[in-house]
Amino acid sequence: MRGAPPDRSVLLLLPALLILALIFLLPLLWFFVRTLLVEIEPAKLPALFASVLSSRPMRIALVTTLWISLVVTAVTLMLGYPLAYYLASRSGIRFSLVIFCVIVPYFTSIIVRTYAWMVLLGRNGVVNQLLLGAGLVARPLPLLYNLLGVVIGMTYVLLPYMVLTLYAAMKGIDPSLLRAARGLGAGRFYAFRRVYLPLSLHGIVSGSLIVLIVSIGFFITPALMGGAGDVTVAMLVERAIEILIDWPSAAIMSLVLLAATLVLYALYGRLTDVRAMLEA
């Protein structure tokens, strides 16, 4: 009997690595090197970094981005945890119904999901029509074109990421452990807090990191649902190119976004073994 197919299968990696290198890594490298090292004098670089990072729009954008990202991560965790717990502890039709409600939005275009919430939250939107119709408010509530709108829209877009990550972690928790704790006299809440919560902790951390990673660089939803003053770093990057045609500033701000994302991704890789996917 011959052994496992030898290492020649590595050759099959080459086409994927080639397009990854040529169409993803090379453009990033080319862009950063040209804009920051070739097209401006190296001596001026530190001063440029300092002026871009300390500029008023960038400072405000950094605070806005961080605030939105943290709030959205917290809200998706609070909403997603019970939903994932429900999914992990149910089967049959209940499971199918709930997973349907998570999966369909997850695979729907982000622009469509954002549009849906713009229709719902607008001044003459569905929510305000219902509230006015029911006599609950005297005039339309400002739900869109402010930070509230951005948080609602982004929470909706990112909730499935959180739920699916948490669910994957919770599925691995042996339910008999909870029963054992209950059998030994622990109350329902005590058993949850001392047994289930610690076992699901790595899911909480991975889910939060994923949502944080995606929200830091998020562009579509804040751009459409935010007010004139609610500018994120990603929107500032777009403006630097589309309106100001200021490539060096765009590159510096991109570098900040990319660095923050890569640090979080490295943390994520540390905490959840990527290779586990290969052995699952």
Partner 1 sequence: MRPALSTFVALLCLVLILPIGIVIVLAFSGGTFLKFPPDSYSLRWFIAFLGDERWRASLWSSLEIAVIACAVATLTGFGASYALVRGSFRLKKLVLSLSLLPIIAPTIVTSIAMYYVAARLHLVGSLVWVGLCHAVIALPVVLLILIAALQSVDPDLERAALSLGCGRLRMLRKVVVPLALHGIVSAALFAFLTSFDELVIALFLTDASTQTLPVRIWNSLHLEVEPTIAAVSAFLIGVTGLVLALDALLRRRARVG
Q: Of residues 73-102, which lie at the interface with partner 1 (CB under 8 A)?
A: 79, 82-83, 85-86, 97-98, 100-102
CB of 253 to partner 1, least distance (A): 9
Neighbours of 55 (CB within 10 A): 14
Structure tokens at 151: 């948080």
- What are the counts of helices (DSSP H) followed by strands (DSSP E) for the chain? 16, 0
Interatomic CA distance for residues 137 and 98, integer angstroms: 32
Residue 6, phi-psi category: left (phi > 0), alpha (psi -120 to 50), beta (remainder): beta
Stretch that binds partner 1, among 3-11, 68-76, 167-175, 195-203 (CB under 8 A): 3-11
Stretch that binds partner 1, among 52-60, 171-179, 199-207, 215-223 (CB under 8 A): 215-223
Under the binding rule (CB under 8 A), the answer on residue 248 touching partner 1 is: no
Site track 4-33 with partner 1 (rule: CB under 8 A), x = hit? xxxxxxxxxxxxxxxxx--xx-xxx-xxx-
Q: Pick one of 62, 66, 113, 227: the residue that binds partner 1 (CB under 8 A).
A: 113
Contact between residue 227 and residue 145 where contact means Cβ atoms under 8 Å apart = yes
Near partner 1 in 141-200, by CB under 8 A: 156, 159-160, 188
Residue 222 identity: P
Q: Pick one of 154, 181, 211, 234: the residue that binds partner 1 (CB under 8 A).
A: 234
Q: Pick one of 37, 50, 74, 104: the residue that binds partner 1 (CB under 8 A).
A: 104
Stretch that binds partner 1, among 44-52, 55-63, 112-120, 174-182 (CB under 8 A): 112-120
Contact between residue 203 and residue 165 where contact means Cβ atoms under 8 Å apart = yes
Near partner 1 in 37-76, by CB under 8 A: none
CB of 36 to partner 1, least distance (A): 12
User: Could you report how far apart the first and last alpha carbons of the chain are, in Å?
Assistant: 27
Cβ nearer to partner 1, comparing 50 with 259: 259
Q: Pick one of 120, 158, 166, 169: the residue that binds partner 1 (CB under 8 A).
A: 120
CB of 107 to partner 1, least distance (A): 5
Contact between residue 149 and residue 122 where contact means Cβ atoms under 8 Å apart = no
Structure tokens at 253: 């701000």
Cβ nearer to partner 1, comparing 18 with 177: 18
The CA distances from residue 192 to 79, 85, 150, 180, 205, in Å, are 17, 11, 33, 12, 18
